[in-house]
């Protein structure tokens, strides 16, 4: 087995979600010894959709799992913005083949379960321990991981990919609750045949509401047989974080009663919906402590408005794996390089997602410059995690 920074290091990853699984596959392929610890008893099948923009698909293509995803995913033809009451289009970007030409990969919209299944297949030769909820970490010659079931394990390097309530983050930076945004999200899967007559069903369409928190997004799944409907609206007093809680479709329809008839028709097509509260954290100043680093929602949970939650976790995983396998003189240097490459980008996208004006107006304008990084479509979609120079 190859090694990190000249040592025979074992990398432990807490969390086998999208980010942790991607990191484990990438590290293994780069010849690094890795072990994955997941709190759940097996791979979860919850959650409806994942919108993988070209930057995420290109990263997954580098792990040879993109072809599997393309078997069941849809490839939206365009990314369209429409105005909530008039229906007027304010932005239209070509995706599909145009995205392949411009960014090296298409946009894929896919069931979360299909993505997890593809990752699970690619994890075949990675050691995974389920039912291992990380409770605490202790510094020493190695990092001592203590699990809730009473067992423990020592590793040389720890990756905290354990989501928005990250135990690794708490150990690193102290306890701090994620913030409820006062926004809830409704989700529904609709048989596309039930929407016959509505335009743009093969595209990603966003209906921009009268305030930044109110919007309806639709895109195809299952190669177009299913349409995913995602609607957000302010709801200041409710804060359940579950991804499987049923919502009240009457409340959903009432919240969008003044929308254009074509938007309301999307909400009339199904009577059962799921509802979840949206939580975020502010960008962090650091993602590492000693030989441990964070990735994905553990360090940059974000609003879904730029559809970058999973994509940024995937990019983190590839860049971190390259840094750890990249011949740096020390683990500290490898992790510092990872942080310096990734933190400014994800912070800008976190802030941009919160502002929610991304691509409202124009397909080419720079939107919402956040800090020093402009987050125009080319910057977001054109990022190549496999080839970004490891400075
Ligand atoms: P996560 O996907 O949250 O994965 C973290 C993993 O760490 C989980 O497997 C968790 O069980 C594990 N874990 C947590 N704590 C510990 C611990 N102490 N010890 C060991 N393991 C631990 N986004 C969408 O756009 N659409 C969706 O439909 C959608 N559904 C989602 C459903 C669920 C259940 C979750 C958790 C997230 C969902 N998201 C969805 C959000 C999106 O998937 C995230 O932005 C993205 O997955 C970030 O990936 P991650 O690997 O950083 O974190």
The residue contributing the CA closest to ligand 1 atom 16 is 162
Report, as an integer, the average pLDDT of 127-137.
Answer: 97
Query: Residue 314: which of 296, 337, 297 has the closest Cα?
Result: 296
pLDDT confidence of residue 239: 61
Please work out whether the CB of residue 313 comes within 6 Å of at least one atom of ligand 1. Answer: yes
The residue contributing the CA closest to ligand 1 atom 14 is 162
CA distances from 262 to 83, 254, 382 (A): 11, 15, 32
The residue contributing the CA closest to ligand 1 atom 38 is 47
Q: At the topology level of CATH, where does 179-280 sit? A: D-Amino Acid Oxidase; Chain A, domain 2 (3.30.9)
Please work out whether the CB of residue 230 comes within 6 Å of at least one atom of ligand 1. Answer: no
Q: What digits encode the pLDDT tens for the residues 322-364?
A: 999 988 999 999 999 999 999 999 999 998 888 777 777 764 4
Please work out whether the CB of residue 377 comes within 6 Å of at least one atom of ligand 1. Answer: no
pLDDT class of 281 with cuts at 50, 70, 90: confident
Residue 237 phi, psi dihedral angles, 5° rounding: -100, 5
Over 70: is that where the pLDDT of 240 sits?
no
pLDDT confidence of residue 174: 93
CATH superfamily of 10-50+113-178+282-357+373-382: FAD/NAD(P)-binding domain (3.50.50.60)
ipTM for the predicted complex comes to 0.92
pLDDT confidence of residue 369: 43
Over 70: is that where the pLDDT of 384 sits?
yes
Going from the Cα of 18 to the center of ligand 1, the distance in angstroms, rounded, reads 7
Q: What is the mean pLDDT of the chain?
A: 90
Residue whose pair of structure tokens reads 């690619």 in the numeric block: 122
pLDDT confidence of residue 282: 86
Q: What percent of the chain has pLDDT over 90?
A: 72
Are 10-50+113-178+282-357+373-382 and 179-280 equal in CATH topology?
no
Going from the Cα of 310 to the center of ligand 1, the distance in angstroms, rounded, reads 9
The residue contributing the CA closest to ligand 1 atom 37 is 47
Give dist(CA 273, CA 190) in Å, integer: 10
pTM for this entry? 0.93
The two three-digit tokens of residue 34, written as one number: 């890795």
Q: Where are the domains of the chain?
A: 10-50+113-178+282-357+373-382, 179-280
More confident residue, 22 or 43: 22
């Amino acid at each position: 087995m190859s090694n990190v920074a000249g040592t025979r290091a074992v990398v432990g990853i807490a969390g086998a979600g999208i980010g942790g699984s991607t990191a484990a596959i990438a590290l293994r392929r780069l010849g690094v010894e890795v072990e994955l610890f997941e709190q759940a008893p097996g791979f979860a099948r919850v959650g409806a959709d994942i919108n993988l923009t070209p930057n995420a698909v290109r990263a997954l293509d580098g792990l040879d799992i993109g072809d599997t995803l393309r078997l069941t995913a849809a490839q939206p033809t365009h990314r369209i913005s429409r105005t909530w009451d008039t229906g007027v289009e304010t932005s239209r970007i070509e995706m599909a083949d145009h995205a392949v030409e411009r960014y090296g990969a298409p946009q894929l919209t896919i069931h979360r379960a299909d993505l997890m299944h593809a990752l699970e297949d690619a994890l075949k030769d990675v050691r995974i321990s389920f039912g291992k909820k990380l409770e605490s970490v202790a510094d020493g010659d190695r990092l001592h991981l203590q699990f809730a079931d009473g067992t423990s394990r020592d590793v040389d390097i720890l990756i905290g990919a354990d989501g928005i309530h990250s135990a690794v983050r708490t150990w690193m930076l102290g306890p701090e609750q994620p913030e409820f945004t006062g926004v809830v999200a409704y989700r529904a899967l609709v048989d596309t045949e039930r929407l016959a007559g509505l335009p743009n069903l093969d595209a990603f369409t966003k209906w921009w509401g009268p305030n930044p928190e109110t919007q309806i997004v639709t895109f195809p799944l299952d190669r177009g047989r299913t349409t995913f409907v995602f609607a957000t609206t302010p709801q200041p007093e409710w804060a359940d974080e579950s991804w499987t809680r049923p919502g009240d479709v009457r409340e959903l329809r009432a919240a969008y009663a003044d929308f254009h008839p074509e938007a309301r028709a999307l909400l009339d097509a199904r009577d059962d919906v799921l509802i979840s509260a949206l939580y975020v954290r502010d960008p962090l100043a650091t993602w590492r402590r000693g030989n441990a680093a964070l990735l994905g929602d553990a360090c940059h949970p974000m609003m879904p408005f730029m559809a970058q939650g999973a994509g940024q976790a995937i990019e983190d995983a590839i860049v971190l794996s390259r840094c750890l396998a990249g011949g740096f003189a020390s683990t500290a240097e490898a992790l510092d390089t990872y942080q310096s490459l990734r933190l400014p980008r994800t912070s800008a996208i976190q802030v941009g997602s919160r502002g929610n004006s991304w691509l409202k107006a124009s397909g080419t304008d720079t939107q919402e410059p956040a800090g020093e990084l402009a987050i125009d479509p080319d910057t977001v979609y054109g990022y190549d995690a496999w080839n970004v120079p490891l400075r």
